[in-house]
Amino acid sequence: MGKAILITGAGSGIGRATAVKAAKAGYRVVLVGRRVEPLEETKRALSGDSHVVMPCDVADRMAFQNGLVKSLGEPGSGASPLVAVFANAGIGGANHYEDGEEVDRWEAIMRANVTGVYVTLNACKPYLLASGQEVTHAVATSSVLARFGVPNQTAYVTSKTAVLGLVRSLAAEWGAQGILVNALCPGWVETEMAQESIQRMADSQGLTYAECHAQQCAILPTGRMSSPEDMADVVLWMVSEQQKSMTGQGLDVNNGSWMS
């Protein structure tokens, strides 16, 4: 078996597209997500037969650690060394303080998008160190919304901004050990989460989905949204052997919706 990559949020969207391309590139893929069915669907789409499904709440330290041991063995003991981690799992949508603690989604979004990345990367660190590779990689999914604020999404924007801070700190901590830590900052990507967001925007403006989608594309300098496969291509470069020098960075792949 070849080298392994672990991908959270692998049941759909960017995670699934990255898993498909990683398998074609020869990686053994560890597919992580909350629900078994979407992970199994992703697994069926992968070339090769050594891939592993690991259903898990990514913010649950004990569950994640137990899942790693079951999927990969103890660090350094497996035939497929873990050389890359893509902490991609997350949730989106609006939140409103005025709705009260029981309804406001602040804690759920922060737990999934920040604590989940923190647990994923730290739990996988011993496996990366035991891989025998001079350089290994950890990538987390942030967002273009970490670059600017939007109304009614305080939790999501805060969580994705926090991911950039986490990546910078871990990059400083782990660089001397050969682990490069970076973030992907997508803009609009044609995923289920994006479709739900566009539908909400359409409903609020009295537009059809197609009209709102066209409206958002018209704002972008390229005039198009990215596909999950576009993002997967970038991630695979970020974790490749050719990438040896970039760490602590947020890579903006957003069709020009934000330019530094």
Which SS3 state, helix, strand or coil, does residue 89 take?
coil
Q: Please report, for the chain, how many H helices and E strands are present, in that order.
A: 9, 7
Which SS3 state, helix, strand or coil, does residue 95 take?
coil
Q: Give the pLDDT confidence score for residue 78 in this predicted structure.
A: 75
Rg (CA), the chain: 18
Q: Give the pLDDT confidence score for residue 101 in this predicted structure.
A: 82
- The pair of structure tokens assigned to 169 is 């700190």
Cβ count within 10 A of residue 145: 22
- The pair of structure tokens assigned to 43 is 């697994």
Q: Give the pLDDT confidence score for residue 133 in this predicted structure.
A: 95
Q: Give the pLDDT confidence score for residue 17 in this predicted structure.
A: 98
- Look at the alpha carbons of 246, 144, 186, 114 in this order and tell me if their dihedral is positive or negative: positive
> CA-to-CA distance for 123 and 61, rounded, in angstroms?
8
Cβ count within 10 A of residue 224: 12
Amino acid, res. 195: Q
Structurally, at CATH architecture level, domain 4-188+228-253 sits in 3-Layer(aba) Sandwich (3.40)
Q: Give the pLDDT confidence score for residue 2 in this predicted structure.
A: 82
Give 203's Cβ-side CA count (13 Å radius): 6
Q: Give the pLDDT confidence score for residue 233 in this predicted structure.
A: 98
* Predicted confidence pLDDT, tens digits, the chain (260 residues): 689 999 999 999 999 999 999 999 999 999 999 999 999 999 999 998 899 999 999 999 999 999 999 999 999 887 789 999 999 999 999 999 998 988 899 999 999 999 999 999 999 999 999 999 999 999 999 999 999 988 999 999 999 999 999 999 999 999 999 999 999 999 989 988 888 889 988 888 999 999 999 999 999 999 999 999 999 999 999 999 999 999 999 999 999 999 98
Q: Give the pLDDT confidence score for residue 201 in this predicted structure.
A: 85
Contacts of 7 (CB under 8 A, 6+ apart): 15, 18, 19, 22, 29, 30, 31, 32, 86, 88
C-alpha closest to that of 17 among 161, 173, 232, 191: 232
pTM given for the model: 0.94
Q: Which alpha helices (H) appear in the chain, and where do they start and end?
A: 13-24, 36-44, 61-72, 106-110, 116-129, 154-174, 192-205, 209-219, 228-238
Q: Give the pLDDT confidence score for residue 1 in this predicted structure.
A: 62
- The secondary element (H helix, E strand) that includes residue 54 is strand 52-55
> CA-to-CA distance for 10 and 253, rounded, in angstroms?
20
